[in-house]
């Protein structure tokens, strides 16, 4: 980068007021980055109430002829140390002024924080985890000082690159630290607070020679002490502001492709700028997004659900190992009732893989290694959730009113998804469905943000693998976003994906109240539909039964007793269980490019 290249922001700060003062379009001739970095170091010292460090480190841009590859994503993207100096990647040159500005600010802060980590250096055994914490601390400070949210543009450009951790240890994978960052922000955890805890825990871990995974879990448990217990009472979501309530209702009634701020502005009678702002507030407050639903029948995969009642705990680990090794498994959870412990799960697989699993479970049953099981093809999946402008209490009276007259409590039900899987109607397949680019995109895309064209991918590495495969410059965010938009349009035109409005992916829940209704769906559907006013509910229909989930509802609750009374009153046979999250049951996301054999043009069978 030449001397006359413009730097949009050189950071000057007065921590007495805790506000950054930015000076636009300063050149390197006026003030160099090394001076700006030293200012950051001194002011981070003041912020942490530590003696200021006099740094001799220079901050330089990578020479344009340099052959050193500085990562454009990952734990420590954007910089390297060379001869004791910080080298900023020359790919920053290719970004927009704003994006370059946001990233340089992040890099200077991140490296300033690093100097206060005492003896922690790059060859430290906890170096990988150090980079994750540095990433989170720096973002928290940016939010703290600039009144950003974690989804503001200045933060998003950092998150979209920094989250790509490629780790063997499950706990170090990015989804955990996306969750960690989001909840640190929601719980108002300050960067300085997390910094102090990290320094203390690292010293303890070093002394005890604690495994890195144990150290990381310590941080997860530490954060949970600040978080309210996630227990739902099967009540509609309380929406305090009427305009948000009205906007959510309209979003729930409008197809995804008609839900831009501009399109809704005509219907609502507000400017699209106001609606765009409200989209951001909805996301920040309620985490509402457009989630991807894959039309798996099109590419000849089928949805199956299973429940396995365990007889002896000593066989559980063996069974879990077998199930998690299945390349087609979507999720696996553990649960219990007063009589039994059990596992439930979901696979999306070719029919032969389902028959193999069914045969395996039947063998376990005959060998008396399990007590009972059910496995069946899902015929219909329905996801609903309800909202209200009233703050409700989980009482028998409230539930009775919701059952008989939900409008009285200003309850409105969002019918987020109603998906039928009719395998009797052959889904004509096309070779375009099995294109490697398409399958790779389907393997990683999770959701689309409200309003602007922001997507979330998991695992994020697959997004960049796809970009690199197509020759897309991953350091150019605009180019990546344009390509992602084109892939999204392509998959929607092929009918392979659609979007539904929700505040979590359907497979992600920590606990749930589970009812298995042992009746034909057509015989009981009128009763069960009345339960759609009770918070979030997922209903799975089979030929001979229906399974319903109420997410984050516990077994020992007024609601469980209320539903049991309702079912008994209508002579409906059922089982009821509590499902819990167990971190040992985490499964990896299906990678369709690994599951599909491009030579034989068949799905792989183990």
Of 139-143, 404-408, 489-493, 579-583, the one with minimum mean pLDDT is 579-583
Spatial distance between the Cα atoms of 137 and 132, rounded to a whole number of angstroms: 9
- Of 114, 146, 179, the position where a domain reaches its end is 114
Report the pLDDT value the prediction gives residue 427, as an integer from 0 to 100. 67
Q: Are 202 and 155 in contact (CB under 8 A)?
A: no
Report the pLDDT value the prediction gives residue 589, as an integer from 0 to 100. 84
3-class SS of residue 136:
helix
3-class SS of residue 522:
helix
Q: Kindly state whether residues 55 and 139 are assigned to the same domain.
A: no
The total domain count for the chain is 2
Query: Per the domain annotation, does 89 fall within a domain?
Result: yes
Query: Per the domain annotation, does 291 fall within a domain?
Result: no
Report the pLDDT value the prediction gives residue 18, as an integer from 0 to 100. 26
Decide if pLDDT at 520 tops 80: yes
Q: Kindly state whether residues 158 and 102 are assigned to the same domain.
A: no
| Average pLDDT for 145-168 | 82
Spatial distance between the Cα atoms of 273 and 396, rounded to a whole number of angstroms: 43
pLDDT band at 16 (very low <50, low <70, confident <90, very high): very low
pLDDT band at 511 (very low <50, low <70, confident <90, very high): confident
State the DSSP string of 492-511.
HHTTSEEEEEESS-TT--SE
DSSP state of 229: P
Report the pLDDT value the prediction gives residue 119, as an integer from 0 to 100. 61
Query: Per the domain annotation, does 172 fall within a domain?
Result: yes
Decide if pLDDT at 258 tops 50: yes
Report the pLDDT value the prediction gives residue 267, as an integer from 0 to 100. 84
Q: Are 294 and 433 in contact (CB under 8 A)?
A: no
Residue 345 or 314, more confident? 345
Decide if pLDDT at 167 tops 80: no
Residue 52 or 2, more confident? 52
Report the pLDDT value the prediction gives residue 259, as an integer from 0 to 100. 93
3-class SS of residue 533:
helix
Q: Kindly state whether residues 166 and 66 are assigned to the same domain.
A: no
Query: Per the domain annotation, does 151 fall within a domain?
Result: yes
Report the pLDDT value the prediction gives residue 6, as an integer from 0 to 100. 26
Most confident of 200-204, 278-282, 354-358, 428-432: 354-358
3-class SS of residue 523:
helix
Query: Per the domain annotation, does 72 fall within a domain?
Result: yes
Of 239-253, 422-436, 538-552, the one with minimum mean pLDDT is 422-436
Decide if pLDDT at 22 tops 70: no
Report the pLDDT value the prediction gives residue 506, as an integer from 0 to 100. 58
Q: Kindly state whether residues 16 and 109 are assigned to the same domain.
A: yes
Query: Per the domain annotation, does 286 fall within a domain?
Result: no
3-class SS of residue 114:
helix
Bridge partner residues of 417 (DSSP): 383
**Helix, strand, coil percentages in the chain from 3-state DSSP, rounded to 5:** 45, 20, 35
Q: Kindly state whether residues 110 and 13 are assigned to the same domain.
A: yes
Decide if pLDDT at 29 tops 50: no
Retrieve residue 209's tokens.
Answer: 């020679």
Average pLDDT, the chain: 88
Sequence-ordered list of residues with C-beta below 8 angstroms from that of 204, at least 6 positions apart, any chain: 210
Decide if pLDDT at 165 tops 70: no
Q: Kindly state whether residues 102 and 132 are assigned to the same domain.
A: no
Decide if pLDDT at 253 tops 60: yes
Phi-psi region of 47 (alpha: psi -120 to 50; beta: other; left: phi over 0): alpha
pLDDT band at 247 (very low <50, low <70, confident <90, very high): very high
- Of 197, 224, 251, the position where a domain reaches its end is 224
Rg, Å, the chain Cα set: 26
Share of the chain above pLDDT 90, in %: 62
What are the CA-CA distances from residue 600 to residues 66, 95, 596, 597 (Å)?
Answer: 44, 42, 9, 6
Q: Kindly state whether residues 42 and 103 are assigned to the same domain.
A: yes
3-class SS of residue 388:
strand
Spatial distance between the Cα atoms of 567 and 554, rounded to a whole number of angstroms: 18
Decide if pLDDT at 72 tops 90: no
Phi-psi region of 117 (alpha: psi -120 to 50; beta: other; left: phi over 0): alpha
Report the pLDDT value the prediction gives residue 9, as an integer from 0 to 100. 37
- Torsion from C-alpha of 204, 205, 210, 216, nearest 10 degrees: 120
Spatial distance between the Cα atoms of 477 and 160, rounded to a whole number of angstroms: 9
| Average pLDDT for 61-90 | 89
Spatial distance between the Cα atoms of 423 and 427, rounded to a whole number of angstroms: 8
Angle at alpha carbon of residue 133, lines to 132 and 136, rounded to 5°: 90
Decide if pLDDT at 324 tops 80: yes
The length of the chain is 606
- Of 195, 224, 253, the position where a domain reaches its end is 224
| Average pLDDT for 69-75 | 85
| Average pLDDT for 517-527 | 96
Domain span holding position 189: 127-224
Residues 282-315 have pLDDT tens digits of 988 888 999 999 999 999 999 999 999 998 777 8
Angle at alpha carbon of residue 146, lines to 53 and 482, rounded to 5°: 110
Q: At how many degrees (to 10) do helices 477-493 and 460-469 cross?
A: 90
Residue 142 CA to chain centroid, in angstroms?
21
> 459 preceded by cis ω (within 30°)?
yes
pLDDT band at 14 (very low <50, low <70, confident <90, very high): very low
| Average pLDDT for 209-227 | 91
Retrieve residue 232's tokens.
Answer: 């739902």
Report the pLDDT value the prediction gives residue 20, as an integer from 0 to 100. 33
pLDDT band at 605 (very low <50, low <70, confident <90, very high): very high
Q: Kindly state whether residues 142 and 204 are assigned to the same domain.
A: yes
Query: Per the domain annotation, does 270 fall within a domain?
Result: no
Q: Kindly state whether residues 68 and 152 are assigned to the same domain.
A: no
Residues 455-500 have pLDDT tens digits of 988 888 889 899 999 999 887 888 899 999 999 999 999 999 999 9
Residue 582 or 254, more confident? 254
Q: Are 422 and 379 in contact (CB under 8 A)?
A: yes
Query: Per the domain annotation, does 91 fall within a domain?
Result: yes
3-class SS of residue 126:
coil
Report the pLDDT value the prediction gives residue 11, as an integer from 0 to 100. 40
Report the pLDDT value the prediction gives residue 13, as an integer from 0 to 100. 34
Q: Kindly state whether residues 160 and 214 are assigned to the same domain.
A: yes
Spatial distance between the Cα atoms of 474 and 566, rounded to a whole number of angstroms: 55
Residues 356-414 have pLDDT tens digits of 999 999 999 999 999 999 999 999 999 999 999 999 999 999 999 999 999 999 999 99
Retrieve residue 245's tokens.
Answer: 């309530």
């Amino acid at each position: 980068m030449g001397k006359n290249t413009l730097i949009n922001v050189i950071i000057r700060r007065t921590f007495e007021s805790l506000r950054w003062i930015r000076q636009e379009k300063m050149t390197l001739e006026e003030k160099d980055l090394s001076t700006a970095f030293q200012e950051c170091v001194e002011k981070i010292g003041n912020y942490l109430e530590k003696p200021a460090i006099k740094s001799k480190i220079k901050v330089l841009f990578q020479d344009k002829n340099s052959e050193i590859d500085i990562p454009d994503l990952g734990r420590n993207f954007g910089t390297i140390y060379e001869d004791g100096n910080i080298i900023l990647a020359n790919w920053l040159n290719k970004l927009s002024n704003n994006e370059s500005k946001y990233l340089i600010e992040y890099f200077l802060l991140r490296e300033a924080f690093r100097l206060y980590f005492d003896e922690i250096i790059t060859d430290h055994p906890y170096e990988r985890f150090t980079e994750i914490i540095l990433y989170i601390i720096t973002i928290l400070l940016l939010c703290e000082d600039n009144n950003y949210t974690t989804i503001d543009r200045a933060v998003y450009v950092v998150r979209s690159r920094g989250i790509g951790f490629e780790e063997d240890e499950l706990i170090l994978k990015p989804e955990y630290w996306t969750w960690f960052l989001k909840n640190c922000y929601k719980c108002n955890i300050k960067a300085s607070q997390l910094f102090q805890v990290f320094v203390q825990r690292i010293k303890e871990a070093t002394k005890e020679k604690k495994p890195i995974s144990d150290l990381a879990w310590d941080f997860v448990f530490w954060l949970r002490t600040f978080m309210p217990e996630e227990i739902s009472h099967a009540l509609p979501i309380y929406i305090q502001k009427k305009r948000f309530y009205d906007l959510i209702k309209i979003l729930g009634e409008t197809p995804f492709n008609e839900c831009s701020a501009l399109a809704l502005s005509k219907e609502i009678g507000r400017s699209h700028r106001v609606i765009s702002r409200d989209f951001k507030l909805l996301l920040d407050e309620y985490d509402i997004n457009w989630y991807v639903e894959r039309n798996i029948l099109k590419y000849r995969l089928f949805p199956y659900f299973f429940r396995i009642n365990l007889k002896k705990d000593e066989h559980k680990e063996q069974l879990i190992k077998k199930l998690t090794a299945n390349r087609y498994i979507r999720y696996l959870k553990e649960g219990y009732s007063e009589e039994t412990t059990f596992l439930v799960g979901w696979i999306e697989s070719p029919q032969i893989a389902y028959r193999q699993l069914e045969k395996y479970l039947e063998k376990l049953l005959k060998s008396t290694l399990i007590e009972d099981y059910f496995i069946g093809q899902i015929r219909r999946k329905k996801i609903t959730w309800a909202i209200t402008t009233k703050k409700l209490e989980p009482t028998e009276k409230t539930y009775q009113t919701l059952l008989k007259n939900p409008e009285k409590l200003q309850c409105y039900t969002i019918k987020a998804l109603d998906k039928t899987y009719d395998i009797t109607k052959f889904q004509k397949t096309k070779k375009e469905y099995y294109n490697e680019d398409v399958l790779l995109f389907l393997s990683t895309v999770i959701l689309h943000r409200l309003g602007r064209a922001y997507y979330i991918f998991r695992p994020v590495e697959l997004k960049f693998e796809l970009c690199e495969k197509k020759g897309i410059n991953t350091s150019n965010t605009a180019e990546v976003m344009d390509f992602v938009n084109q892939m999204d349009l392509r998959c929607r035109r092929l009918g392979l994906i659609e979007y539904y409005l929700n505040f979590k992916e359907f497979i992600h829940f920590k606990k749930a109240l589970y009812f298995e209704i042992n009746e034909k769906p057509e015989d009981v559907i009128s009763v069960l539909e009345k339960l759609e006013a009770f918070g979030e509910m997922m209903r799975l229909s089979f030929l001979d039964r229906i399974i319903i989930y109420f997410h984050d509802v516990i077994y020992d609750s007024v609601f469980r007793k209320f539903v049991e009374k309702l079912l008994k009153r209508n002579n409906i046979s059922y089982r009821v269980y509590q499902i819990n999250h167990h971190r040992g049951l985490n499964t990896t996301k299906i990678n369709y490019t690994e599951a599909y054999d491009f030579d034989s043009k068949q799905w792989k069978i183990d």
